[in-house]
Amino acid sequence: MRLVDSLLQGNIRALAKAITAVENGLPGAEEILTALFPYTGKAHVIGVTGAPGAGKSSLVDCMIAYYRKLGKTVGVVAVDPTSPFTGGALLGDRIRMQDHFLDDDVFIRSMGSRGSFGGLSQGTKNVIRLLDAFGKDIIIVETVGVGQSEVEIMNVAHTTLVVLTPNAGDTIQVLKAGVMEIADIFVINKSDLDGAHRVKTEVEAFLCLKEKLEEKDEWDIPVIPVVAIKNQGIDSLCTSIAEHKAHLLGTDKWLEEQRLRLSKEVQDMAALKIREHIFNELKNNAQWEQLVDKLYNKSLAPYEAVDYILDNFFNSVYDNRYK
Amino acid sequence: MRLVDSLLQGNIRALAKAITAVENGLPGAEEILTALFPYTGKAHVIGVTGAPGAGKSSLVDCMIAYYRKLGKTVGVVAVDPTSPFTGGALLGDRIRMQDHFLDDDVFIRSMGSRGSFGGLSQGTKNVIRLLDAFGKDIIIVETVGVGQSEVEIMNVAHTTLVVLTPNAGDTIQVLKAGVMEIADIFVINKSDLDGAHRVKTEVEAFLCLKEKLEEKDEWDIPVIPVVAIKNQGIDSLCTSIAEHKAHLLGTDKWLEEQRLRLSKEVQDMAALKIREHIFNELKNNAQWEQLVDKLYNKSLAPYEAVDYILDNFFNSVYDNRYK
């Protein structure tokens, strides 16, 4: 395909076109992804998550600058509805993104917070794959770490940063949403503010407890103070990120995880296709509408209607294997 | 079933048992839901959503007190990981929930923020249905309004309150996550603080714009200032909630929406079952493991592996109808 060839040759417009095709499920999207798949797997995918207002975007900004100085190319996928990258910052934008917009080796893409083709999680994975095939060395995925779907998105990252701040009293609460478990590195942003030490201590206490409860992992999760807005602590953070990558590569975890993720991703994709298939089949289906009437009259219960769908659309398979 | 009968007779322990069964997908869970389904549809389900720290739980606390004074029974389902109801408030709990825990006519249940049987959204729907069949007049669903899955949960509510505060600069940003669209009533909590008027104006400007852009809905979305911690404005809020219910009933929207939701819910449930089926089938499946090896070696692309699943598990249906 010409688009695929152009993309592999480093044509940014081809990349943008491919992303649009993939995001919106345009004809040819699957073929593009299939053709590019052999070229993926080289990028280091870094997830950045945390509560709204934690300064994730400022941090990402600093990280872009750091990696660009090292001569690395960077892709950013922002799925955070509160991120200035996604146009979420209505109330004044403190981000110096303008610098990077003029840099051809930084590609920034925001994902809508809902309704991406194949779901937000799959959409994000697909866009990361395109950036990877395009040849980006570093791909940063920024997401707000409160919702379940956002946590799922973070599964695509090799290294996940969880960003905390001293002034957010709710920080620890927010982390209960399952974010604690996915952190490879904790970042205490705004660490020049009062309370930074307290947050650091809290996180370290949590990590100590976690270590005692779980089987020992070889990776000691670091807690790194930074002040993104002043570009402080970024070297130390990015050194930790590199160490985490080295750790993954050294223990075969990188490859092992990739295998598991691919398996799960394909199963998710298949389930999604089947779901779409059901939805299409039942649209304007007279027999189904009669069943919905029964549901509505409470003469049929939801799980009974589920059986109808399974019996009628998946009878051969379902009867033989499942029941 | 004895459990179902006890529950319908108002036995709280039977309700708690049924919820546990349904939440964890224990044997008999589907039968319980099916048996109780004819008794559902009477409760007014009120959703309460907003950013962490907006004071949702304090507000819910006031609402419980209000409805109890009217002699109504109340159920609360908290799916907010930052809610004190779910045990999320580590840093000092300002909530006077103790009062309600002693009240037999208030039933409070927290949902884990992940891993509920059938997904969080389905789990919440099922628990609401149990509370509804149990005879609760009012069911309040509290969730943090940032993630996509949390927004989906709100689809179960007849009346959705979006809670804003003056001191949250990120409020409007957070709302971009798709929460603006689901509000039936805006609540400005902590409205005794500076900036309350500004937030109210911003929301009203948004609503004015929205009204111009969209087809006109008959319901004028109110913006109601309250101070939950001082129990101020709750009467006015609950009057609006009652007006919204009357509006829904008056325009047949209540029933119409219920029909649509049932149809979609059953389709989701069926898709989920099929997905579980695929996951189970592929576990320890040698042929599948070979395919994953190919994925891993990049000699097979994800969408090609998807076709394998569809061909092998749903060939008869899929070939005939879809391809």
A120, A274, A298, best to mutate vs chain B, most B CBs in 10 Å:
A274
Chain A interface test: which of B173, B181, B280 (most A C-beta within 10 Å)? B173
Residue with tokens 């970042």: A187
pLDDT digits (tens, 9 = 90+) for A128-139: 999 999 999 999
Interface of B with A in 136-195 (CB under 8 A): 144, 146-151, 169-170, 172-174, 176-178
What does the pLDDT read at residue A39? 94
Provide the pLDDT for residue B74: 96
* Nearest by Cα to A163 from A77, A235, A58: A58
Rounded CA separation B14/B6 (Å): 6
- Cβ(A49)–Cβ(B146) under 8 Å? no
Question: What is the pLDDT at residue A40?
Answer: 92
- A259 interaction partners in chain B (CB closer than 8 Å): 292, 295-296
- The CB-side HSE value for B235 (13 A sphere, CA atoms) comes to 2
Range of weakest confidence among A30-34, A91-95, A128-132, B129-133: A91-95
Token pair 């048992």 is found at: B17
Find the mean pLDDT for residues B71-82.
84
The pairing of strands A138-144 and A44-50 is parallel
pLDDT > 90: percent of chain A: 36
Quick check: B317 pLDDT over 50?
Answer: no
Distance CA B321, CA B48 (A): 42
pLDDT per residue as tens digits for the range A11-69: 999 999 999 898 888 889 999 999 999 999 899 999 998 877 788 889 999 999 999 99
Chain A closest-CA separation from residue B258 CA (Å)? 7
The answer to whether the beta carbons of residues B91 and B99 sit under 8 Å apart is no
Output the six-digit token pair for A110. Answer: 């925001």
Residue A109 has pLDDT above 90, yes or no: no
Q: Which of A111-125, A187-201, B268-282 has the highest mean pLDDT?
A: A187-201
Mean pLDDT confidence for A232-242: 97
**B176 vs A contacts (CB less than 8 Å):** 81-82, 88, 90, 113
Q: For residue A84, what pLDDT band results from cuts at 50, 70 and 90?
A: low
Under the banding of pLDDT at 50, 70 and 90, the label for residue B71 is: very high
Residue ranges, CATH 3.40.50.300, chain A: 40-251
What are the Cα distances from residue B154, in Å, to A14, A28, B48, B149, B183?
A: 39, 35, 8, 9, 10
What is the Rg, in whole angstroms, of the alpha carbon atoms belonging to chain A?
22
- Given the candidates 3.40.50.1980, 3.40.1710.10, 3.40.50.300, 3.40.50.1000, the CATH classification of the domain at B40-251 is 3.40.50.300
Decide if B317 and A321 are in contact by the 8 Å CB cutoff.
no
Kindly state the tokens that stand for B141: 């669903």
Lowest mean pLDDT, pick from A110-114, A287-291, B25-29 = A110-114
**Confidence band for B65, pLDDT divided at 50, 70 and 90:** very high
CB contact under 8 A, A148 and B146: no
Q: Choose between A86 and B202: higher pLDDT.
A: B202
- A–B CB contacts, 8 A cutoff, strictly below: 238
Mean pLDDT score, B92-100: 49
Angle between helix A119-134 and A12-24 (nearest 10): 160
Contact B255 A40 (CB under 8 A): no
Is the CB of B1 inside 8 Å of chain A's CB atoms?
no
pLDDT for res B83: 58
Per-residue pLDDT of B192-216, as tens digits, reads 988 888 888 878 877 776 666 665 5
For residues A103-134, one letter each, b for 16 or more C-beta atoms within 10 angstroms of the residue's C-beta and e for the rest, the string is eebbbbbbbebeebbbbbbbbbbbbbbbbbbb
pLDDT at A285 over 80: yes
With an 8 Å Cβ cutoff, is B261 touching chain A?
no
Q: B82 and A114 in contact by Cβ < 8 A?
A: no
B271 vs A213: CA distance, rounded Å: 36
Query: Chain A residues with CB inside 8 Å of B305's CB?
Result: 266
Specify burial of residue B198 (Cβ count, 10 A radius: 0-12, 13-18, 19+): exposed
CB contact under 8 A, B52 and A277: no
CB contact residues (below 8 A), chain A span 21-60, against chain B: 30, 33-35, 37-38, 40-41, 51-53
Query: Which residues lie closer than 8 Å to A116 by C-beta, 6 or more apart?
Result: A23, A122, A123, A124
Question: How much is the pTM?
Answer: 0.72
Pairing of the two strands B185-188 and B159-164: parallel
Cα separation, B175 vs B166, whole angstroms? 14
Q: Which pLDDT score, from 0 to 100, does residue A320 have?
A: 44
Check CB contact under 8 Å for B90 and A173: yes
Q: Model confidence at A95, in pLDDT bands (50, 70, 90)? A: very low
Max mean pLDDT among A236-240, A248-252, B265-269, B293-297 falls in: A236-240
Phi then psi dihedrals of residue A49, to 5 deg: -135, 160
Contacting residues of A for B151, CB less than 8 Å apart: 114
Residue among A91, A146, A151 minimizing CB distance to B172? A91
Count Cβ atoms within 10 A of the Cβ of residue A97 and give its class: 0-12 exposed, 13-18 middle, 19 or more buried: middle
Q: Which residues of A touch B40 (CB under 8 A)?
A: 298
Does A313 contact B at CB distance below 8 Å? yes
In chain B, residues with a C-beta closer than 8 Å to the C-beta of A151 are: 114
Distance from CA of B314 to the nearest CA of A (A): 6
Q: Pick from B33, B296, B303: which is nearest to A34 by CB?
A: B303
